[in-house]
Amino acid sequence: MQPMPDYALSVCEQLKALTASGALQVDSAQMDVAKSLDRVLAGLKRRRPAAKSSALGWLFAAKKKSADGIKGLYIHGSVGRGKTMLMDMFFAMAPCRKKRRAHFHEFMADVHNRIAAHRLKLKNGETTQADPMPPVAAALYDEAELLCFDEFTVTDIADAMILSRLFSELFARGCVLVATSNVEPDNLYMDGLNRGLFLPFVALLKQHVDVVTLGSPTDYRMEKLSSQPVYLVPINEHNDMAMDASWTQALHGRKAQPLDIPMKGRHIHVPLAVDRMARFSFADLCDKPLGAVDFLAIAERFDTVFVDHIPLLGPEKRNQIKRFIILVDTFYDHAVRLYISAAAMPEELLLQRRGTEGFEFDRTASRLFEMRSAEYLALHHEKRAAE
């Protein structure tokens, strides 16, 4: 996105400046959402800095909304409408000393790690607090009074079952949540197992955020598309040879070998790797019981990934579909350059669009398109140069 003008004091002002300069098109739907983001900014500016809490502060935290309680924001709408751009502007301007922006899956992996660490302390006699949620929430809030989630989505039952208790604790402490999503809150975890146990979180969420729709008629990501030879269709001998040729060219004479990434008492097997480049098949990544934390480890270890033979995804591959959605989200967030051979173009891979899964795959298809754009590849190169 364009750099923020020094004189911009609000998301609305930055949006107006960028449209006036011709860097962006005038979009009334984006301006409406910008006004809502500015409301949150105004509340954060009024809030006094929180006093530093003691190590046992969670024991005495008041279980009620603070007097300066600020309602967050939940922005939903179709892919490519500018949600991430507006979040970029908002997060850069947010005056909080402690703020955190994360992909939801990455955040929840952190939460699960903290819960596991607390339970280990309990087992070792280092704490007598049986319930891990209050101290975990207290630690999270101590690190960030503002949480921003890009592309909020819930697909994992382990996440779904703890969200209500986790955010009850966070909101009670005054945490402000701003999130973007492809789906409205009532459609989160739509087809999930034991969804009835998740619904209290939806009710809680709507109490603590204003829900707004970004209904821009234009998909700006499609306007940016400048195809690169990194997505090959269909799966055939010719394209297998093309993938091999791209892989050989990227190797620059180096020899790739199998590699195992250690992962908490197990490992993630990488069939071929050299330096920060890896090659997998779709089956290696999505037929195996891998999750967000595994894909995050791959994205942090490699900046270029080849994935061969992505098949058409029918209803019998529901687990693989979920893994593929998380995989693409994670690689996109970490500017991983992705080479793919697939049975169809991204928007045609999913054979049946149903409920939340269909909405989420629309985002996946959009990201696969954007990951071929010159802009995305420039981000990839910037990331490599910074490392």
Delimiting residues of CATH 3.40.50.300 domain(s) in the chain: 11-213
b/e 102-132 (16+ beta carbons within 10 angstroms → b): bbbbbbbbbbbebbeebeeeeeeeeeeeeeb
Between these two residues, 118 and 79, which has the higher pLDDT value? 118
pLDDT at 133 over 80: yes
**Cβ distance 211 to 185 under 8 Å?**
yes
Average pLDDT, the chain: 86
Question: Would you give the distance in Å from CA 102 to the centre of its chain?
Answer: 6
Question: What is the average pLDDT across 285-291?
Answer: 95
pLDDT at 63 over 80: no
Tell which CATH architecture fits domain 225-386.
3-Layer(aba) Sandwich (3.40)
CATH number of 11-213: 3.40.50.300
Tens-place pLDDT, residues 147-184: 999 889 888 888 999 999 999 999 999 999 999 998 89
Query: How far apart are the C-alpha atoms of 20 and 139, rounded to whole Å?
Result: 43
pLDDT at 378 over 60: yes
Tens-place pLDDT, residues 229-252: 689 999 999 899 889 888 988 887
The pLDDT assigned to 384 comes to: 65
Query: How far apart are the C-alpha atoms of 244 and 308, rounded to whole Å?
Result: 10
pTM for the model stands at 0.63
Query: How far apart are the C-alpha atoms of 62 and 70, rounded to whole Å?
Result: 16
What is the 3-state secondary structure of the chain?
CCCCCCCCCCHHHHHHHHHHCCCCCCCHHHHHHHHHHHHHHHHHHHCCCCCCCCCCHHHHCCCCCCCCCCCEEEEECCCCCCHHHHHHHHHHHCCCCCEEEEEHHHHHHHHHHHHHHHHHHHHCCCCCCCCCHHHHHHHHHHHCCEEEEECCCCCCHHHHHHHHHHHHHHHHCCCEEEEEECCCHHHCCCCCCCHHHCHHHHHHHHHHEEEEECCCCCCHHHHHCCCCCCEECCCCHHHHHHHHHHHHHHHCCCCCEEEEEEECCEEEEEEEEECCEEEEEHHHHHHCCCCHHHHHHHHHHCCEEEEEEECCECHHHHHHHHHHHHHHHHHHHCCCEEEEEECCCHHHCECCCCHHHHHHHHHHHHHHHHCCCHHHHHHHHHHHHHC
The pLDDT assigned to 299 comes to: 95
Query: How far apart are the C-alpha atoms of 353 and 345, rounded to whole Å?
Result: 15
pLDDT at 190 over 90: no
Question: What is the average pLDDT across 308-335?
Answer: 95
pLDDT band at 219 (very low <50, low <70, confident <90, very high): low
